[in-house]
């Protein structure tokens, strides 16, 4: 379905029948990605006396309980409530869902024992940025990301100065294929999160961070439209399904 979209006074064309899903779905088995030292999620039928909520076990319906943590188990979108003492939920803060986006690929720099996305790297990749969303694909990129155990891996993270620059360049929705924009073990400093949301000085309540995405190699770097839909959770974060749509030539 072709559609014309106006953004900042410019007209663009896209095809809504050609979605590019960059989410990782949640599974109830060991193929699910995990982080933050938790076990794998569980999807199991309700058992109540003789009732087992599974058609193959004699029930008329499949009726599952699901145990998971949004930050640890799949693609999720979070708001400033993730780091604030006050309660802010993604359902309350995320009110619009369609944005112009740029996909960029970056190989983090090795600094000591860490791998870091630096301000200098972003400078060259966000020139003339006129959208709201930035999608980061870390290099090397491989299909194993969709089932990786990230715990105790010291994953690549974004340096504080880079986050300040992204904020000042108008990035309101940041998406990454890592479990966090911050260093795994940072003594609770959360410098990248705080810099992006400008917390606690001038909080950007409508800004979001989406983590644990997967951008297949077939998706080229460049300009897209992004549909970013978190589930309706009254929580600091919720599972989400970011979907890209390629911008077509007029």
**Quick check: is 34 in a domain?**
no
Cα–Cα dist 153/104, whole Å = 23
Report if residue 43 sits inside a domain.
no
Q: Are residues 166 and 121 in contact, defined by beta-carbon separation less than 8 angstroms?
A: no
pLDDT of residue 5: 87
Q: What is the pTM of this model?
A: 0.97
46 located within any domain: no
Q: Is 158 within the bounds of a domain?
A: yes
Q: Mean pLDDT per 10-residue run, the chain (250 residues)?
A: 85 94 96 97 97 97 98 98 98 97 98 97 93 98 97 98 97 98 98 98 97 98 97 98 92
Residue 85, Ramachandran bin (φ over 0: left; ψ between -120 and 50: alpha; else beta): alpha
In a domain, residue 9? The reply is yes
Q: Looking at the 3D structure of the chain, how many domains does it have?
A: 1
CATH number for the domain that contains residue 177: 3.50.30.50
How high is the pLDDT of residue 6?
87
Q: What percentage of the chain's residues is helix, strand, coil (to nearest 5)?
A: 15, 30, 50
Which residues contact residue 204 at a Cβ distance below 8 angstroms, ignoring those fewer than 6 apart?
A: 80, 167, 172, 196, 197, 198
What is the rounded CA–CA span in Å between residue 33 and residue 39? Answer: 10
Q: How far apart are CA 128 and CA 110, in angstroms?
A: 27
Q: Given this model, what pLDDT does residue 104 score?
A: 98
- In this structure, is residue 62 part of a structural domain? no
Domain that holds residue 205: 2-24+70-248
Q: CA nearest 177: which of 147, 135, 219, 206? A: 135
Asked, for residue 124, whether it belongs to a domain, the answer is: yes
Residue 84 maps to a domain: yes
């Amino acid at each position: 379905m072709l559609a014309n979209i106006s953004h900042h006074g410019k007209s663009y064309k896209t095809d809504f029948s050609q979605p590019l899903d960059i989410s990782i779905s949640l599974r109830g088995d060991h193929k699910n990605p995990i982080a933050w030292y938790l076990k794998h999620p569980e999807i199991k039928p309700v058992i109540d006396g003789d009732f087992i909520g599974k058609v193959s076990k004699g029930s008329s319906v499949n009726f599952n309980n699901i145990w998971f943590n949004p930050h640890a188990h799949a693609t999720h979108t979070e708001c400033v409530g993730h780091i604030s003492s006050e309660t802010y939920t993604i359902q309350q803060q995320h009110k619009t869902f369609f944005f112009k986006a740029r996909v960029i690929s970056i190989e983090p720099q090795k600094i000591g024992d860490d791998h870091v996305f630096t301000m200098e790297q972003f400078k060259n990749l966000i020139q003339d940025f006129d959208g709201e969303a930035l999608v980061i694909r870390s290099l090397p990129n491989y299909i194993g990301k969709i089932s990786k155990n990230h715990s105790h891996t010291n994953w690549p993270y974004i340096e504080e100065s880079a986050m300040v620059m992204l904020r000042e360049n108008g990035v309101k929705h940041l998406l990454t294929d890592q479990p966090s924009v911050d260093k795994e073990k940072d003594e609770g400093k959360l410098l990248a999160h705080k810099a992006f949301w400008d917390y606690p000085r001038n909080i950007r309540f409508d800004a979001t961070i989406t983590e644990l995405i997967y951008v297949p190699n077939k998706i080229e770097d460049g300009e897209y439209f992004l549909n970013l839909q978190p589930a309706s959770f009254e929580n600091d974060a919720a599972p989400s399904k970011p979907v890209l749509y390629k911008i077509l030539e007029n």
